Structure 1
């Protein structure tokens, strides 16, 4: 039993999911910082809304980050633009172990420079970037791929330790997501609005999340509000059980992805939803992704088949 566990843990797992997470996290951060490029001085600069003096005197002062080294605006500009370059390298999969470490250090620094503008999704992203520093996120979709050693017998002790560290890291990301959903579901069960199926109604009525026309239509569909409220609780509380089942895991992932798409559009929590959906990519193993690729190939072939036959049918009609 111990020997089988050692052999299992000495081979890197979930490599496709880890690579997909890397690409998505890089895109998320690039989008976030580029969208805020014009107001970067206001958000993170030494004379911005959270001045350098306030930053030093805040309760986060004990957490060392890059901004502690200098208060100059030039230093801030170098950090900001260097972070953009590092994110591009991380996205392209260039030396992912090094760039992954740098992405974590830089995002950690910007996160604590002004944590007031961050949200729960960014907090989760910060934790997962910490785990992913120890994972092989460049096995796929990378210009300089981190090729894993497949033959366990030919691995050195160092390679086995690196593989074990990778597996621990990706499992930490997976467990983090599972715990987030389970604890969120348990808290919802204890709420009276969730118990009577009206929680989604009240959430959509909040002014901060109001989408004129769309939210009005949704909260007037009683069946949809009740279904969304109870369905959210079911999928979150049962998520740990569903995700380990070979068939139900697809149902669970479809459920939470649909939930976050709904949250993104009806509550304007775009980045939060994107981070959650990206994180869920680690919950499918490499074989699952190969099956999905086969399904997509078959769907493409089917679409081509119908397209060609439709053209033939139209040609015969014209004749």
Structure 2
């Protein structure tokens, strides 16, 4: 046990990708604000079609949802400010905590529009509170004069990062188990019913693919197998890349053919936590070097 704790305290194994994912969270939340702004009256304010009793953090902080709905524009304003603070790394983990509270309250105001991606992101934002994601893409990194505080910070960061990985594995495994016990999935015809629905008709090829028995059977069972074996194969070096690629292909396929967007984006970007920190840093340095090289060439031409 002591060896595990010591290993977790040596270096932040998620320093780069946690910072990149912090930026993704900010863009993702800002996009949702932009898309929902036109419909905020119906979704969140006093004219909301969804009226319910206070739950979650609304109940915990004893917040009257009606008062919040009447002053929702002020709430939304501070929510956007928090997202921008988090983007630049201002306030660091404290900002991450307050942003999560605002995000959770926003979800409680209109839970009927949430999807699996929103639920996963909520838990990831909890883990991100404990992760030091400010060494890259922020105004300033965290500085610790006391080495013990530094070790503790690294330990919490690694614990938070591995928690995200474990949560993703658990989500896949539970999803696979439920599919196995569902008749449509067990009999290999779930894809047929899904792609036949007009609601999920993302391309002109959906109906043709739904009528192809080979495609329907393979895609149905492939989905189950990827979700079922992902939690085991993603931890081994020889199988990690393959299972991540298969998972990304699965989510891109759902994105394109079924028009389920936010859900898939969150699951795709979370995959990056399984890639080694050194690989991300190496890729980043090479990319930055190429950009600087092309920038200098363009400057010399002009």
Q: Same fold (TM over 0.5)?
A: yes
Query: Aligned residue for 1:313?
Result: none
Q: Please say if 1:137 is aligned against 2:133.
A: yes
Q: Relative to structure 1, is the Cα distance of residues 212 and 279 closer, same or farther in structure 2, using a 3 angstrom cutoff?
A: closer
- In the alignment, the residues of structure 1 paired with residue 222 and residue 72 of structure 2 have an alpha-carbon distance, to the nearest angstrom, of 46
Query: Aligned residue for 2:297?
Result: none
- Output aligned runs, 1:52-91, within 5 Å: 54-55=51-52, 57-58=53-54, 63-64=59-60, 68=64, 71=67, 75-91=71-87
Query: Aligned residue for 1:209?
Result: 200
Q: What runs of 5+ residues in structure 1 fail to find an aligned partner?
A: 305-319
- Give per-residue Cα distances to partners, 1:128-157, cap 9 Å, x unaligned: 11111111122222232336x7xxxx8533
Work out whether residues 89 and 134 of structure 2, in 8 Å CA contact, stay in contact via their aligned partners in 1.
yes
- In the alignment, the residues of structure 2 paired with residue 59 and residue 95 of structure 1 have an alpha-carbon distance, to the nearest angstrom, of 28
Q: Relative to structure 1, is the Cα distance of residues 253 and 296 closer, same or farther in structure 2, using a 3 angstrom cutoff?
A: farther
Alpha-carbon distance, 1:60 to partner: 5.0
- In the alignment, the residues of structure 2 paired with residue 124 and residue 209 of structure 1 have an alpha-carbon distance, to the nearest angstrom, of 22
Give the TM-score of the pair, scaled to structure 1.
Answer: 0.81
- In the alignment, the residues of structure 2 paired with residue 112 and residue 64 of structure 1 have an alpha-carbon distance, to the nearest angstrom, of 12
- Give per-residue Cα distances to partners, 1:198-240, cap 9 Å, x unaligned: 2211111223212351312322333332222121111111112
- In the alignment, the residues of structure 2 paired with residue 245 and residue 61 of structure 1 have an alpha-carbon distance, to the nearest angstrom, of 39
Which structure would you say has the larger Rg?
1
Give the TM-score of the pair, scaled to structure 2.
Answer: 0.85
- Aligned to 1:36, the other structure's residue is in SS state helix
- Aligned to 1:247, the other structure's residue is in SS state helix
- Aligned to 2:139, the other structure's residue is in SS state coil
Query: Aligned residue for 2:300?
Result: none
- Aligned to 1:213, the other structure's residue is in SS state coil
Q: Please say if 1:93 is aligned against 2:89.
A: yes
Query: Aligned residue for 2:34?
Result: 34
**Matched positions, count:** 291
Residue from 142, 145, 150 that aligns with 1:146:
142
Work out whether residues 10 and 160 of structure 1, in 8 Å CA contact, stay in contact via their aligned partners in 2.
yes
Query: Aligned residue for 1:267?
Result: 258
Q: Please say if 1:43 is aligned against 2:68.
A: no
Pairwise CA RMSD of aligned residues?
2.9
Work out whether residues 46 and 70 of structure 2, in 8 Å CA contact, stay in contact via their aligned partners in 1.
no
- In the alignment, the residues of structure 1 paired with residue 15 and residue 219 of structure 2 have an alpha-carbon distance, to the nearest angstrom, of 33
- In the alignment, the residues of structure 1 paired with residue 267 and residue 83 of structure 2 have an alpha-carbon distance, to the nearest angstrom, of 19
Work out whether residues 93 and 142 of structure 1, in 8 Å CA contact, stay in contact via their aligned partners in 2.
yes
Q: What runs of 5+ residues in structure 2 fail to find an aligned partner?
A: 295-302
